[in-house]
Structure 1
Amino acid sequence: IGLALAGRAGARMTDVFGAPTSRNTLLRLIASLPDPPVTAPRVVGVDEYAQCKGRIYGTVLVDVETRRPIDLLPDREADTLAAWLSERPGIEIVCRDRAPFFAEGATRGAPQATQIADRWHLWHNLGEAAEKCVYRHRGCLHPAPAPPDEPPEEPEPAASSPWPTGHRFAERTRAKHSTFHALLKAGHSKRSVARQLGMTLNTILRFSRAATPEELFTGQWQSRATKLDAYKPYLDLRWQEGCTNAWKLWEEIREQGYPDGYGNVRNYLSRTLRGKPQPVGPRPPSARAVTRWLLTHPDALVESHRIQLKAVLANCPELDVLAKHVRTFAHMVTDLQGDLLPEWIKSARAATGLPSLSRFAHHLERDLDAVVAGLSQPWNSGVVEAHVNRIKMLKRQMFGRAGCELLRKRVLLA
């Protein structure tokens, strides 16, 4: 009961069985149990688990052949893993992800073992790099505009008045200007007009010198220079592309160096761009959707997605090159053709316009032997990921209050 339900829940269950026991007694019984006998492992899987997410992490080790957990380490340091491996010289294969501390620990603790990088993590990292490449070329996701049948009409010249019509300040100033000059023509003096209209003498003088209301314009409606000016062409372009989310546009220009906050972008969109027409037609696919299509087997795509992907690749040579690299890597993963990886890395690093793919290939070179082994041998870390998920369940069952020793006992014995 203690191994299955731990303290409080186990104590409630013992009451049901008619053998009441306190939660502390159950925990003491669990702690007193000896570790299960474990044969010397040959293939070991290594991964991290969160003791306290974001703060404290440990290491779980699994016998991949028997699919049983072997041990839980209190941290994920390379020294701890190296010491554990060095006590078991019979280990021949270490399955791991590409975390540097696991790579270093396995190299120092089991130099005789072959390290295998997990294929799922490789495919996941490729997907992240592909999404960044697609987002970089998101302008190509819009279909090319069809040529117009007739030449477009010449736009009408803009109004000469610097004041927008219909604005309350502009209309009020025009009305005051008209009233002022009407009173002057009726024979009233400027001081008299000032008293009647409640205006200062300086304002009356300005009105008298202005033949038209537009001459009173002193800069209130001029576009003052702001930090957003340098990014307005980009915002206009993205608006025409169909992106109307102010927060997303603010994040995009912030990555380009825009120093101010979100409110200025929102105000510019609502006051300036909100009334501008957007291109008519179907909404273009998102970068994430195109990435999902690239990572999906062509035979598994529905017809509409296949047509959209074909149009996107035809519109962007860089994304077409990316698609070829993704398919080649997929064949290496599914057919275990790790010997083709060095040539793939060389080709990916030479691809122009795809910096994220080039960085991914560069990172593969740092762990080349393990990646080639992962793409050549059938071993993987799937069973380790299953036990990490089981550890999460046990932690939730104990409300996250289990220490490393109690959690280790339950993982190894339950």
Structure 2
Amino acid sequence: MAVDSLVGTVFSGLSALVIEDVTEGSGMVVVTARTRDVAIPCPDCGTVTAKVHGYHQRTVKDVPIDGRQVVVRLRVRRLVCPALGCRRQTFREQIPGLLDRHQRRTARLVRQISHVAQELRGRATARLAGLLAVPVSRSTALRRLRRLPLPRLEIPRVIGVDDFALRRRQRYATIIIDAETGRRVAVLPGRDAATLESWLREHPGVEVVCRDGSATYAEAVRRALPDAVQVSDRWHLWRNLCNKVLLEVRAHAGCWATVNPPANLRPKDTTLLEKIAAACPEMTALASLVCGFAALLTPAAGNDVKLTEWIAQARAVNLPHLRSLTNGLEIDWSAVDGAVTLPYHNGRTEGVNTRTKRIMRQMHGRAGFDLLRHRILLP
């Protein structure tokens, strides 16, 4: 009864077996068990049999108990197939869901090691597993990580595309995600147009592509998906505007040099603001243009027309740095148009890139591209 009670509580994961004894020694728990005396089908012909030809011993590890390793000494049967003509005269029985072929760990222990390796990789997994009474080598941890199945590839309607550095200024890769859910879809070696174009041609179904201002990606999408809508990332548009505004402010710094500078400036000091505006009308126009552009970054129907009007206003003012921004907007007009009118964005791609950098720091640059790609695509 004591053994039956342990099976129902501590060893519930071994309920498919008949546990005959549980002993303790050398800092581990040893479980002696055997398979049940039931008929099972032949793996080749499917004929059900319970005729025993012999027995084999398997020694496997299970999840730890009370900080101690658990070793299962299991007796399995070799059965005889009664079907005439079956190529398997005898076969060793398997325990699906509990123990896979040629494995020395139970399926649930393998799952635990795999999930720890998914988060920590090789050496860190080996260190932590040792403390948890599940000793594994870093090579075993990485092998379990590589065997984790990737999710089934489903091509989304809206994708986000961005690059990240494998080795800064030398090697880069491209990541593709579902822009609506953030699900990782693919990781491509390199960031050239041919690589992305080839992937898009091999995986049809994409209708909208969110990207930054990369002319390389823009050309790849145009060649592979001429009918797809391209959406420029609004954060990059705002950053480009901020950079140009900073240059304009620096260029006009002398305009308010005689105004009484910074110790007397308060948020609600309208008198000082009026003096600054009077000293440099270009800055007044610049402030108005910045506010107008910020309003366009909330996507809405009709923003494309407003953007055209904003560009005309920006070119009518003597602000050369801002004028260069408008030239860039017109070069990538269709994507910018999509950015201010459609709800899609590349923000989730940037979030995935941040996660990718954390993974690369954990691996300290020792992982090859295949292992890194596998790690990124795992859910």
The TM tier, using the shorter chain, reads 0.5 to 0.7
Q: Which residue of 2 aligns with 1:117?
A: 232
Letter paired with 2:339: G
Secondary structure of the corresponding residue to residue 44 of structure 1: strand
* Cα deviation digits, residues 365-400 of structure 1 (max 9, x gap): 100011011010111111111101101111111223
Match 1:377 to one of 332, 338, 342: 342
1:248 is matched with which residue? none
Moved more, 100-109 or 32-41: 32-41
Q: Give the number of the structure whose residues are more often strand, by fraction.
A: 2
Output aligned runs, 1:87-102, within 5 Å. Answer: 87-102=202-217
The one-letter code matched in structure 2 to 1:318 is: E
Matched, 1:134 2:257: no
1:307 CA displacement: 6.2
Q: Which moved more, 1:7-16 or 1:358-367?
A: 7-16
Q: Give the match for residue 297 of structure 2.
A: 333
- Paired AA for residue 331 in structure 1: A
CA contact (8 A) 1:97 1:121 kept: yes
Query: What is the RMSD of the two structures over their aligned residues, measured on CA atoms?
Result: 2.1
Flag the 1:8–1:104 CA change in 2: closer, same or farther, 3 A.
same
Q: What is the letter of the counterpart of residue 355 of structure 2? A: R
2:317 is the alignment partner of 1:351: yes
Structure 2 residue aligned with 1:29, among 144, 149, 166? Answer: 144
Q: Which residue number in structure 2 is paired with residue 323 of structure 1?
A: 287
Count of paired positions:
262
2:166 to 34, 41, 51: 51
- SS of 1:347 mapped into structure 2: helix
Larger radius of gyration: 1
Q: Deviations over 1:85-140 (max 9, x none)?
A: 11222111000001111111111122221000011110110000000011111102
2:123, 2:218 → 1: CA distance?
Answer: 40
1:365 aligns with 2:330: yes
The whole-number CA distance in structure 1 between the counterparts of 2:243 and 2:147 is: 46
What secondary structure sits across from 1:331 in the alignment?
helix
Q: Which amino acid aligns with 1:339?
A: V
Separation of aligned partners in 2, 1:310 and 1:4: 57
How far apart are residue 308 of structure 1 and its match? 5.1
5 Å-filtered alignment, 1:296-315, equals 302-304=267-269, 309-315=273-279
CA distance in 1, matches of 2:247, 2:373: 39
Change (3 A) 1:129 1:13: same
| Equivalence for 1:296 | none
Q: In structure 2, what residue type is equivalent to 1:123?
A: W
Residues 161 and 210, structure 2, Cα contact 8 Å, conserved in 1: yes
Which position in structure 1 is the counterpart of 2:128?
A: 13
Separation of aligned partners in 2, 1:11 and 1:335: 49
Cα drift, residue 311 of structure 1: 3.7
Distance 1:357 1:307 in 2: 27
Q: Deviation of residue 3 (structure 1)?
A: 0.9
State TM-score, norm by structure 1: 0.60
Give the structure 1 partner of residue 111 of structure 2.
none
Percent of matched pairs sharing the same residue = 41
Q: 1:343 to 1:26 in 2, by over 3 A?
A: same
For residue 246 of structure 2, give the secondary structure of its aligned residue in structure 1: helix
User: Are residues 1:408 and 2:378 paired?
Assistant: no
Bigger drift between 78-87 and 327-336 goes to: 327-336
Structure 2: tracts of 5 or more residues without a match? 1-115
Report the AA paired with residue 338 of structure 2: A
Query: Which one scores higher on RCO, CA 8 angstroms, separation ≥ 6?
Result: 1
Q: 1:19 to 1:308 in 2, by over 3 A?
A: farther
Asked if the contact 2:299/2:343 (under 8 Å) is kept, the reply is no
CA apart distance, 1:303: 2.6
Aligned ranges 1:273-284 → 2 under 5 Å? 282-283=261-262
Q: Does the 8 Å contact 2:154/2:185 carry over to 1?
A: no
User: Does structure 2 conserve the Cα–Cα contact (< 8 Å) formed by 1:116 and 1:370?
Assistant: yes
Q: State whether residues 339 and 372 of structure 1, in contact with CA within 8 Å, keep that contact through their aligned partners in structure 2.
A: no
Instruction: Measure the CA separation in 1 of the matches of 2:137 and 2:256.
Output: 64
Contact (CA 8 Å) 2:155, 2:185: kept in 1 or not? no
- Aligned residue type for 2:208: I
Read off the aligned partner of 2:340 and give its amino acid letter.
L
- Report deviation, 1:57: 1.2
What is the CA-CA distance between 1:358 and the residue it aligns to?
Answer: 0.5
Partner-residue secondary structure (3-state), 1:57: strand
- 1:47: Cα distance to partner? 0.8
User: Contact conserved, 2:304 with 2:340, CA < 8 A, in 1?
Assistant: yes
Cα distance in 1, alignment partners of residues 284 and 378 from structure 2 = 52
Mapped partners of 2:297, 2:277: distance in 1: 23
C-alpha separation in 1, matches of 2:208 and 2:229: 5
2:308: which partner in 1?
Answer: 342
Q: What secondary structure is seen at the aligned counterpart in 1 of 2:298?
A: helix
